Chain A
Amino acid sequence: DAEITQSPRHKITETGRQVTLACHQTWNHNNMFWYRQDLGHGLRLIHYSYGVQDTNKGEVSDGYSVSRSNTEDLPLTLESAASSQTSVYFCASSEHGYEQYFGPGTRLTVT
């Protein structure tokens, strides 16, 4: 069955380290998204991509980057992790802007 996976599911890192969160989908969707979820803020868009080599900034993109070298993957990189980036991160994919399918999430703690 087609699916969307995220790894790792849990990550603890230190301030200043570079961290990469993986997202992989097998639906062959062109659109992929990264969100962060924090209490009181709901889901906020970090970056998104509409296809290979396409990336766009979302509402809270500072300190994050993405690259899209193939259809299946959209890794999210925290260049220099900060405590404010402690959050739960969700990846999602969709086709033509319709239903977005979310991954199970990655809980990141920056100490």
Chain B
Amino acid sequence: QQQVKQSPQSLIVQKGGISIINCAYENTAFDYFPWYQQFPGKGPALLIAIRPDVSEKKEGRFTISFNKSAKQFSLHIMDSQPGDSATYFCAASKSLSGTALIFGKGTTLSVSS
């Protein structure tokens, strides 16, 4: 049973456009929701993360929107740039107990110039 479902699998966006990636989770015990960015040949790196006590978190062009009642969260990339082309993973964990991250299957983003 997949605990974190991510969509779409791939996404093509024009330079300057908005990229939106969605994730849904099932376990209400999750309390930490990070997004990781991975470039080809590299390990994933933390991009931005949110806890369920806030509905939105913004860092530069990257924003997480969180809907606790719907058990959904999404990543918005504003003014998408070719350098944003990468694979993005959402994840969830029960951070206070130190458990490992459960990842979505990933979204490959291509930003065309």
Residue numbers of A with Cβ under 8 A of B are 31, 33, 35, 40-45, 48, 50, 58, 90, 92, 96-100, 102-105
Contacts and interface: CB of A to CB of B under 8 A. Distances in A.
Interface residues of B, number: 25
A48 B98 CA distance: 11
Interface of B: 6, 32, 34, 41-46, 49, 89, 93-106
23 contacts: A33-B101, A35-B103, A40-B105, A41-B105, A42-B89, A42-B104, A43-B44, A43-B89, A43-B103, A44-B103, A45-B100, A45-B102, A48-B100, A96-B95, A97-B32, A97-B96, A97-B97, A97-B99, A98-B32, A102-B44, A103-B43, A104-B43, A105-B43
A97 B98 contact: yes
A42 B105 contact: yes
A83 B94 CA distance: 33
Contacts, number: 53
B103 A42 contact: yes
Q: Which of A48, A99, A100 has the most CB of B within 10 A?
A: A100
Contacts of B101: 33, 43, 45, 100
Q: Which 10 A-B pairs have the closest CB atoms?
A: A102-B43, A42-B105, A97-B95, A97-B98, A43-B103, A42-B106, A48-B100, A99-B46, A42-B103, A45-B100
